[in-house]
Amino acid sequence: KNEVEQSPQNLTAQEGEFITINCSYSVGISALHWLQQHPGGGIVSLFMLSSGKKKHGRLIATINIQEKHSSLHITASHPRDSAVYICAAPHYGGSQGNLIFGKGTKLSVKP
Amino acid sequence: EPEVTQTPSHQVTQMGQEVILRCVPISNHLYFYWYRQILGQKVEFLVSFYNNEISEKSEIFDDQFSVERPDGSNFTLKIRSTKLEDSAMYFCASSNRGLWEQYFGPGTRLTVT
């Protein structure tokens, strides 16, 4: 069974700062998800990655399969980035089954 | 862009009542999921559904829960006799590739009083 750990749990930043959120997991996986949960509760899928790096706008996600670690970076952070960021990995590592979620990192970006 | 929708957005019910939460997955998707998130806790898997049957369920998904795809578009979660501890946000997700590229709905907040 996969265990997913995120750090930090809470993060406060000033607008414009570079943000890094970390995720580690215990079982080798086929892919990892990064999700964003808005204050209203809705979840949006940001990235699904299996190797290397993906970039979407100011968001960058990296994964190191050997080290079982992934990071989510936000460049030039903005107050609208304030949300909870969650990583999720397959329970058994493969592409079937279900996802195990981290506890989330609550990001607050101050103007 | 296609999206997963869920209704209602908020449901309040009394303990012991039956509730049905509805989801409309993305139209060509084949895999369907329900997750829940109790306030302040992490998201938890409930059940996955493929080819008109449950493919996997968690320990949470006991006999009080059931899922159905009554027609070609809806995917429902029924809780037969709600308990206070069922109060949570319930998310539906769909995919065309299993755990790859899951699309989440906006959630239904269920409050059991």
pLDDT above 80 (res B83)? yes
How far, CA to CA in Å, does A63 sit from each of A9, A48, B19, B35? 19, 10, 40, 25
Lowest mean pLDDT among A28-42, A88-102, B55-69: A88-102
Residue B107 tokens, joined: 């959630």
Residue A13 tokens, joined: 């930043």
CA dist B34 and B23 (Å) reads 9
Q: Which among B43, B87, B94, B96 is the top mutation candidate for probing chain A, defined by the most A β-carbons within 10 Å of its own β-carbon?
A: B43
pLDDT above 80 (res A92)? no
Q: A23 falls in which pLDDT band (50, 70, 90)?
A: very high
Task: Read off the pLDDT of each residue in B92-104 and give the average, rounded to a whole number.
Answer: 82
Q: Percent of chain B scored above 70 by pLDDT? A: 97
B61 close to A (CB below 8 A): no
Q: A93 falls in which pLDDT band (50, 70, 90)?
A: low
The pLDDT tens digits of the residues spanning A74-84 come to 999 999 999 99
Chain B residues touching A45 at Cβ < 8 A: 101-104
CA dist B111 and B89 (Å) reads 9
